[in-house]
Structure 1
Amino acid sequence: MKRRALTLGTALAVSAATATVVTTPARAMVPAPAAAPARTSAPAPLTGKAVYLSDKNGIQVLTYNGRWTSQTVGGASFAGQFSVAPDGRRIAWIDGKNRLHVLSPAGDKVVARNAAYIGPCLTPAWSADGRRIAFPLKGQSETRFVNAVDADGKNLTRIGKTLGPCHLTWSADGRTLAGYAGTTDGVHLLDTRLHVSRRAPGIKLANHVESVSPDARRIVVNTIGRNAPGGDGSWPTSFTPSIYDTVTGKKIPIPVGGKLLGARYLRDGRLVVRVAGRTANTLVVLNASGREIQRLAEPARARTFGLLGILG
């Protein structure tokens, strides 16, 4: 079965090999992003504040914080390579000149160069504390190098290289970057300290990585069948989530009924599952043991939007 690589223009020639790749960083590494703080009490319940995506009139990032605000990312020819910071106020995006930008209420700033600009799947990724941005580099090799930079453009470093540069997602402990292969053939985990990439077991074909647990032991992905189209790598407005153990390869059941539209881990380890509704979707919050601890309705306006982040 022949699958189309998820690219715009030049195809990503990403190997399906499972061999480990080790890369020596080009310069001394700065400290990893701060890990999630230890909690001594139950986290505060969610209030429904969140960030959404609408792609009907270009790329619109919409924030609900009791009221709606929106930002437009890129222009008419924008390939869709972007991600939203954990605070919901900043957007990292890559332009056609291979530049990484940070768009914020203060303006738009170029913070790094030589970023890969090929198609929508090659997105940057924010660290959980909002300090750092990881991004794939331009090039034509089977594996793709990944750099990281502070949100203000300082401390540019080399993390390593990976066979899975698409929809990069950073674990809350700062240790792991997860992404899927441009051919959709598997998901790969890049250790940001050892600079080693490995294929996640159990996942054969996938075209979206949504999030990883704080310790990267579990990963939320959209898996696809052998004859299913790979798509173009754009952020999905909804998907059927699957969760896998990244060590054993075991698929973890999601104990939530209804039509699932997505799921994502929070920095404290809770899992938020999005469930379709007739007039408004519902967010179901599970603790680390998989027990439901909260259920709240999204704004009705968000029903057809993609969910990009939970703010609180």
Structure 2
Amino acid sequence: MNRYLPLGAVLGAALLAPLAVAPASASTTPLSPARSAPTSTTAAAKPAPIKGVAVYARFNRGYVVTRFEPGKGPIRLGVTPETGQFSASPDGRKIAWITGLGKVQVSAAGKVTTLAKGAGANAPCLTPVWSPDSAKVAFLPSSESDASPVAIAGAAGGGTRKAGTTMGVCHLAWSADGRYLAGYAGTTDGVYRLDLRARTSVRVKGVKLANHVQSLSPHGERVVVATLSPKDPGGDGGWPVWFRPTIVDTTTGAKVPIAVRGRLIGALYLPDGRLVVRVAGSGHNTLVVLDASGRQLQRLAEPAQARTQALLQIVR
């Protein structure tokens, strides 16, 4: 039987699990940055290649969140509490977290600001999430119910508003168009998508059990999730260093194939709809960029320092 996590229980701080990396296959040999596969589209229609600016996290008496940018040294964005409830902004410059006392705090340019109080605390899966424009933070107020209210606060202050109620409270992801939030249930029993416009939450078809939601496609039509079998442990709710990604159509429940060879350890959508797939390697991991049809556009070597860290955001 799957080991479920009771949502109302107080969970211990989760450690980011070490990554056991298999040797890279022939398709994941270290490559120079921004080498793109040929496509039939015109140069004017091609999106700009990503440059490898990304945000990662590792555990060290709290979660150390670092921005990596090619040609520059790592930039530490801050260290979050050991609650494990944290996220990085899409612009790669700010982090948000929940303290053990339920405060919603943001660190930007070295300054820490408290946005709200009364958040669900000491439950690692109840992570806040940044809006696509990095201007707002959604979080879960403390609740005794499996279906929890969602609140949204301005990152620069200005108050908090209610945004609906959902069963999908864990590891929230926000679609690039700003309309949808998705998360998995605290019991690991499925993934739910909250429509912020209609304020309704619907269970995603095709996902029976899950313990991580990484990303939504720009209009919320697909979700990147870590699915479980009935025999898999549910885990402690901590943000994973790596996971085997599954992409699910949120309306039909159909699984979307990922046409990338190697050991896949993550995936996330860019705001323009491209999918970035993380592939394990022995010296470093590789980011493989796919267009909406699944065609490979680019391969990019991650920093070796980030090989055993959790990928939070790809900035550009």
- Shorter-chain TM-score bucket reads 0.7 to 0.9
Do 1:126 and 1:133's aligned partners in 2 also have CA atoms closer than 8 Å? yes
* Aligned counterpart, 2:209: 205
CA root-mean-square deviation: 1.6
Structure 2 unpaired stretches of 5+: 12-43
CA distance in 2, matches of 1:8, 1:140: 6
CA distance in 2, matches of 1:220, 1:74: 25
* Aligned counterpart, 2:181: 177
**1:194 partnered with 2:201:** no
**1:298 partnered with 2:306:** no
CA distance in 2, matches of 1:204, 1:4: 13
**1:123 partnered with 2:122:** no
CA distance in 2, matches of 1:161, 1:103: 27
CA distance in 1, matches of 2:78, 2:110: 14
Identity %: 50
Q: Which amino acid aligns with 2:92?
A: G
Deviation (angstroms), 1:278: 1.6
Deviation (angstroms), 1:113: 1.6
Please show how residues 38-53 of structure 1 align to structure 2 within 5 Å.
41-53=45-57
CA distance in 1, matches of 2:78, 2:187: 29
* Aligned counterpart, 2:315: 311
Please show how residues 227-242 of structure 1 align to structure 2 within 5 Å.
227-242=231-246
* Aligned counterpart, 2:258: 254
Deviation (angstroms), 1:229: 0.8
**Greater shift after overlay, 150-159 or 286-295?**
150-159
* Aligned counterpart, 1:69: 75
What secondary structure is seen at the aligned counterpart in 1 of 2:182? strand
CA distance in 1, matches of 2:8, 2:267: 27
CA distance in 2, matches of 1:260, 1:67: 27
Q: In 2 relative to 1, CA 8–108 (structure 1 residues): closer, same or farther, beyond 3 Å?
A: farther
Do 2:146 and 2:186's aligned partners in 1 also have CA atoms closer than 8 Å? no
Do 1:7 and 1:232's aligned partners in 2 also have CA atoms closer than 8 Å? no
After superposition, the C-alpha distances for 1:176-228 in whole angstroms (9 at most, x for unaligned) are 00000001000000010111001000000000000000011010000011011
Q: In 2 relative to 1, CA 132–71 (structure 1 residues): closer, same or farther, beyond 3 Å?
A: closer
Q: Which amino acid aligns with 1:168?
A: L
* Aligned counterpart, 1:102: 106
Q: Which amino acid aligns with 2:63?
A: I
After superposition, the C-alpha distances for 1:95-123 in whole angstroms (9 at most, x for unaligned) are 12211111111410001122111311001
Please show how residues 270-309 of structure 1 align to structure 2 within 5 Å.
270-309=274-313
CA distance in 2, matches of 1:51, 1:210: 14
Deviation (angstroms), 1:87: 1.4
Deviation (angstroms), 1:71: 3.9
* Aligned counterpart, 2:29: none
Question: How many residues are treated as equivalent by the alignment?
Answer: 282
**1:135 partnered with 2:127:** no
After superposition, the C-alpha distances for 1:142-173 in whole angstroms (9 at most, x for unaligned) are 31000111111214211110011000110011
Q: In 2 relative to 1, CA 7–142 (structure 1 residues): closer, same or farther, beyond 3 Å?
A: closer
CA distance in 2, matches of 1:121, 1:142: 13
CA distance in 2, matches of 1:196, 1:150: 22
Deviation (angstroms), 1:3: 2.3
- In the superposition, the TM-score normalised over structure 1's length comes to 0.87
* Aligned counterpart, 1:81: 85
After superposition, the C-alpha distances for 1:223-253 in whole angstroms (9 at most, x for unaligned) are 0110111111111000000000000000011
Deviation (angstroms), 1:41: 3.8
Q: Which amino acid aligns with 1:269?
A: G
CA distance in 1, matches of 2:287, 2:80: 29
Deviation (angstroms), 1:73: 2.5
* Aligned counterpart, 2:170: 166
Q: In 2 relative to 1, CA 9–258 (structure 1 residues): closer, same or farther, beyond 3 Å?
A: same
